[in-house]
Structure 1
Amino acid sequence: MVVLSREALHESVVDPVSASMNFLNEVAGRYPEAISLAAGRPFDEFHSVADIDKHIQAYLTHLRERGLSGAAARQLLTQYGRTNGHVGDLIARMLDVDENIQVPAAAVMVTTGCQEAMVIALRGLCAGPGDVVLAAEPCYVGLTGAARILGVEVVGVPESPDGLRPETVRAVAAATRARGKTPKALYLVPNFANPSGVSLPVPVRRALLAAAADEDLLILEDDPYGLFGLDDEPRPTLKSLDSDRRVIYLGSFAKSYFPGARVGYLVADQTVADAAGRRTLLAEELSTVKSMLTVNTSALSQAVVGGMLIDSGFSLRAVNQAKIAFYRRNLNTLLASLHKHFAGTAVRWNNPSGGFFVVCDVPVDASEALLEVSAQEYGVLWTPMRFFYVGGGGTHAIRLSCSAIEPDRIEEGVGRLAALLRR
C-alpha cells in the first residue's frame, strides 16, 4: 500500500495554527460533558427545522410574484445555477435596510459560507508572489488558514487594547514595502472582533479608511457579530462609510440565521477596467474563481435564506431581537463571573461592548497541554490565544466564548476555570 510522507504534503495540511480548529473539535469530542467556553457557534435552541420549509415556501411565493412559472422555479432550486447566486438582490435590500449600504445586486456574490468569500477575495486580489495581506492581529484563524492554503503571506498588524490604530497600519505597510512586498489589502473585524472582542470607535473607522487610501489598500471588512452589541448604539460598518469603494464587505448568515445553511456573501462594487477600456464590477470578475471552487452556492440554501429575508422585511436586526437579548445576557454573565472569581488576582480580562468573546490574560502558559488537563480534570474548555497569532504570541492568554450555552453553564464554567488556575 502507498505510504505518503506527511512532511511532503502542503504546509497548510501540517501547519499547527491551521489545524487548531480541528484540535479544539477533537478535544471537545473526547470530553463531551465538559462545559465549552471555547465554541463560538450560535445557541442551538434558536434553530427550528420547521423554519426551513416555511422560508422555502416564502421564497417560492416570491418567485411566483415575480412571474416565474412552476417549471422555472423548480429549475432554479434544483439545477446548477448562476455562479454568483440568485438572492443577491434580496441581500442588497437587507444591507440597505440594516446597514445603510447601497450597492447593486450585481455587486453581491452569494458564497458557501463566509469562508469561501475570504478565499475568493484573497485569490482574486493577490496575483503576484510578492503580494501580501495585512491583518489585524490577533486574527481569526479562518483568514490565516485560507491564506496559508493559497500560499498568500499574512502580515500581522498588532492591535492595541482599544483595537487597530491607523498609524500602526501605516507603519506595517511601509515596513512591508521596505522588504520588497506589496500589501494589497487589510483584513479586520471592526465589530466585536474574533478573537479579541474589540469594537472600533467611529472616528477610528474613518481614520482607517483614510489610512487605507493613503497606503493604496483595499479593506476586507468581516462583520459576523455587528448585530450583537450590549447596547443599541449605532456602529456603522466601514462599508457604509466608504465613499470611494475601497471596502470589500464579507458577510454571513451563520450567526444571524443558522450555520447549517452555509450561506455567506461578498460585496465587491469596485470597478475593474481592462486594457480595452471595458468596465465591470469586481464581484463579476471574481465569479471565475468561485466557479472553480464550488460552481455555485446551494440553490436550496439560498432559497431558505431568501425566504427568511422576505419574511423579516429584509431586516436581520428586527428578526434577531431574541438572539440579541440572549447574547447580551450571556456576555454580561461571563463578565460578571470573571469579576466574581478573579477580581484582585493576577488574571486580567477585557470588557467588550458586544459579541461572543472575552480575552483573559493568565499567569500560566495557556498551552494545548493545559487545555487537555482543563478538559479532563476540570471539565471546562477554552481556546488558547496563541492560535490567533501569525508570528507567535498570545502564550499567556485565552479566549472565552459565551454564545453556545445557557448563563448558568457560563457561571459554572468560569468557576471550573478558576479552580484550574488556582492549581
Structure 2
Amino acid sequence: MSAGMVRLSPASLHRSLQEPVLGSIGFLNEVMSRHPDAISFAPGAPHPAFLDDLDTGHCTDRFLDHLVERGRTRRQARRLLVEYGPSRGIINELVSHALRRDQDIAVTPESVVITVGAQEAMLLVLRALFRSASEQVLAVANPCFVGITGAAHMLDIPLLPVSETRDGIDVEALEAACRNARRSGRHLRACYVAADFSNPGGGRMALECRHRLLELAEREDFLVLEDNAYGFTAAGGDELPPLKALDGGRRVVHIGTFAKVCFPGARVGYVVADQQVGDGSRLLADDLAALKTMVTVNTSPLSQAVIGGMLIEHGGSLRELSRHKSQLYRRNLDRLLTALDFHLPDGRAAGIHWNRPEGGFFVRLHLPVPADDDLLEKSAAKYGVLWTPMAPFYLDGSGDRQLRLSCSYLDPEQIDTGMRRLAAFLQKEIIR
C-alpha cells in the first residue's frame, strides 16, 4: 500500500454492513456460481418462461396510446417517458384503479407512490415513520423477509421479533410485546406482516387474525405495514381480503410490487399511504414522495410505461395480468409438495418435516441437524442440489435447523429431479 493511502476500519463503517445475512447471501451466490449444473431451489424469482416473449416496446406503445387518449399529444407523451418525471409516479391512476377493481382497496391516485421496487417503498416508509430509535420499535413476524429487516438495520430502527402461528402472526404475543415496549419507555410504532404466503415462512393469515390484528393496531395505536408480494398466487375463489381492504381506520400502509406479476427487471413497486398528516392537508404519500426526491428522484418513467402498458393490455386488472402466472406457481407448489411426500415417506420418523403452504413460492423444511453453510456446500458438491438456509431470516437465533425450498423458478421435471437429489442427500447424510 502506498504511503498515506486510506485504509478504512470496519468499525468505522455503518453496523448494517456487519449483518450476517449479507455474508449468507454472498456465500449462496458463490456456491451457485461454483456449481452451475446443480438444481437450485434457492431463487425466489419469477419463472423465466414469462420473460421469453415479453415485448416491452409494444407495452410502451400501449401506454403512450393511453396518454394520448387522455389528452396529451404524442410528443408530450414521449417526453414524459424520457424526462425525470414526478417523484410520485406516472401510473398511479392505473394502479389505484387495479387495486379498487381486484382487491377492493379503495384509494385515490394521490395516495399511491410508485417506487423502485417494493424495497424502496419499505425504506421510505420506515424513514418517514420512525423519528426516534430510542423511543420507537418495529415489530416483525419471525421469520421475516430480509428486505424489511435490512432496511431497518440501515436506519438503526430497533426490531422486535414476534412468533407466527399457523394462522399468521401471533396477535397475543404482539399485544404482550406492546406492553413490554411501554414498560421499557418505548412505543411500538409499526408492525410488518406479509398476510398472504410470506417469504420465507409461507404462512397465510386467517381472516379472523386479520381482523384481530387491525383491532389491536387501533387499540395500541400502531400502523401495519402490509407486504402483498405473493397474494396473487391464491387459488381462484380462495382469495382473502388484503388488510388494506379491511382498513376502516387507515392503519395499514400497503406495499406491492410488479416484480412477480410482470417482471423483476422493471424494478417497479408501489406503496399506498393514505394516512392524513397534521391537519389533514397532506397525506403520508406526499411525505414519501418528498423523501423519494432525495433517494432515487423518481422511478424510471420507461419502466413505469412498460408496466402501465401491461396493465392496459389486461383490461387494467392485476388479477388478469397475473392469472397464468399464478396457475403455474400453484402447479409448481403442488408438484414440490407431492415430490416431498413421495421421496421422503420416512422423513418425519427421522425428524424431517415440512409445512404445506396454500400458495406462494416457498416451503420450509425442518431438519434434525443444523442447515448451515457446510451442509449446503456438501449438498451442492456431492448431490447437485441447492437450497437456502433459514437462519438468516430469524432475529432470535432460531431457525438454524431449517431450510427454504423455492419452486417458482423451476419446471416440473426440474422439481422432480431436484427432489430426487435432495432426498438422496437427506437419506445418506442425515437420516442414515
TM-score bucket of the superposed structures, by smaller chain: over 0.9
Aligned to 2:287: 285
Give yes or no for the alignment of 1:168 onto 2:173: yes
Report the Cα distance in structure 2 between the residues aligned to 1:267 and 1:38, rounded to whole angstroms.
30
* Contact 1:40–1:403 (8 Å) recurs in 2: yes
Unaligned runs of 5+ in 1: none
Report the Cα distance in structure 2 between the residues aligned to 1:369 and 1:73, rounded to whole angstroms.
55
Moved more, 313-322 or 379-388: 313-322
The aligned length equals 420
Report the Cα distance in structure 1 between the residues aligned to 2:375 and 2:301, rounded to whole angstroms.
44
Q: What one-letter code is carried by the residue in structure 1 that aligns with 2:43?
A: A
State the 1:167 CA deviation.
1.1
Moved more, 170-179 or 110-119: 170-179
3-state secondary structure, aligned to 2:294: helix
State the 1:278 CA deviation.
5.7
Give yes or no for the alignment of 1:35 onto 2:44: no
Aligned to 1:2: 6
State the 1:231 CA deviation.
5.0
Aligned to 2:203: 198
Q: What one-letter code is carried by the residue in structure 2 that aligns with 1:319?
A: L
Give yes or no for the alignment of 1:371 onto 2:370: no
Aligned to 2:275: 270
Q: What one-letter code is carried by the residue in structure 1 that aligns with 2:343?
A: H
Q: TM-score w.r.t. structure 1 length?
A: 0.96
* Contact 1:18–1:144 (8 Å) recurs in 2: no
Give yes or no for the alignment of 1:157 onto 2:159: no
Aligned to 1:327: 329
The structure-2 alpha-carbon separation of the partners of 1:49 and 1:291, relative to structure 1 and needing over 3 Å to count, comes to farther
Q: TM-score w.r.t. structure 2 length?
A: 0.94
Aligned to 1:228: 233
Aligned to 2:258: 253
After superposition, where does 1:29-108 map in structure 2 within 5 Å?
A: 29-48=33-52, 50-108=54-112
State the 1:388 CA deviation.
0.6
* Contact 1:27–1:372 (8 Å) recurs in 2: yes
The structure-2 alpha-carbon separation of the partners of 1:97 and 1:231, relative to structure 1 and needing over 3 Å to count, comes to closer
Report the Cα distance in structure 2 between the residues aligned to 1:146 and 1:27, rounded to whole angstroms.
25
Aligned to 2:147: 142
Aligned to 1:237: 242
Q: What one-letter code is carried by the residue in structure 1 that aligns with 2:292?
A: K
Report the Cα distance in structure 1 between the residues aligned to 2:214 and 2:280, rounded to whole angstroms.
28
Q: Deviations over 1:293-328 (max 9, x none)?
A: 100000100111111111111112112222122111
Q: Deviations over 1:206-230 (max 9, x none)?
A: 1111011111110000011111124
Report the Cα distance in structure 1 between the residues aligned to 2:340 and 2:180, rounded to whole angstroms.
39
Q: Out of 4, 15, 20, which is 1:16 matched to?
A: 20
The structure-2 alpha-carbon separation of the partners of 1:321 and 1:144, relative to structure 1 and needing over 3 Å to count, comes to same
Q: What one-letter code is carried by the residue in structure 2 that aligns with 1:294?
A: T
3-state secondary structure, aligned to 2:232: coil
Q: Deviations over 1:58-89 (max 9, x none)?
A: 00001111111233212210011101111111
What RMSD over aligned residues (CA atoms) do the two structures have, in Å?
A: 1.3
Aligned to 1:306: 308
Report the Cα distance in structure 1 between the residues aligned to 2:392 and 2:421, rounded to whole angstroms.
22
